């Protein structure tokens, strides 16, 4: 599966039309919340202990409102988003995007 088109509808919404005919909508807050990067996975509360030595970045607190600032294709397999909280280390494979998306 591969995106036929990617359209940023607004600061908070991106739509992808896939080559199999499916259309999917992505909301910035949800995509940011399920970021697959190592740093975010380390902070995931699902059954894991938090690192007591982790230092919080007070210059970059997670805001209540998240927007897509930009996005870029990574090869022919993924997209990297930059969010309004300046986070940009997650690489979202097309397979993962299909899992987390909402069908239009």
Predicted pLDDT of residue 61: 45
Topology of the domain covering 3-45+66-103: NE0471 N-terminal domain-like (3.30.2020)
**In whole angstroms, what is the distance from residue 7 CA to residue 29 CA?**
17
Mean pLDDT by 10 residues, the chain (104 residues): 95 96 95 94 63 52 79 97 96 96 71
**What residue segments make up the domains of the chain, in order of their start?**
3-45+66-103
pTM: 0.79
Question: What pLDDT, on a 0 to 100 scale, did the predictor assign at position 1?
Answer: 85
- Residue 18's pLDDT is what? 96
Taking the alpha carbons at both ends of the chain, their separation in whole angstroms is: 17
pLDDT at 41: 84
Q: What is the pLDDT of residue 44?
A: 66
Nearby residues of 45 by Cβ (< 8 Å), 6 or more positions away: none
Burial class (CB in 10 A: 0-12, 13-18, 19+), 25: middle
Q: What is the pLDDT of residue 58?
A: 45
């Amino acid at each position: 599966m591969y995106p036929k088109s990617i359209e940023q509808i607004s600061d908070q919404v991106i739509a992808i039309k896939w080559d199999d005919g499916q259309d999917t909508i992505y909301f910035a807050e949800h995509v940011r919340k399920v970021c697959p990067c190592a740093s975010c996975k380390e902070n995931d509360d699902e059954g894991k202990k938090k690192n007591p030595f982790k230092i919080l970045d007070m210059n970059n607190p997670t805001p209540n409102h998240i927007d897509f600032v930009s996005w870029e294709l990574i090869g022919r397999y993924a997209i990297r988003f930059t969010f309004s909280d300046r986070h940009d280390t997650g690489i979202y494979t097309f397979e993962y995007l299909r899992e987390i998306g909402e069908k239009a």
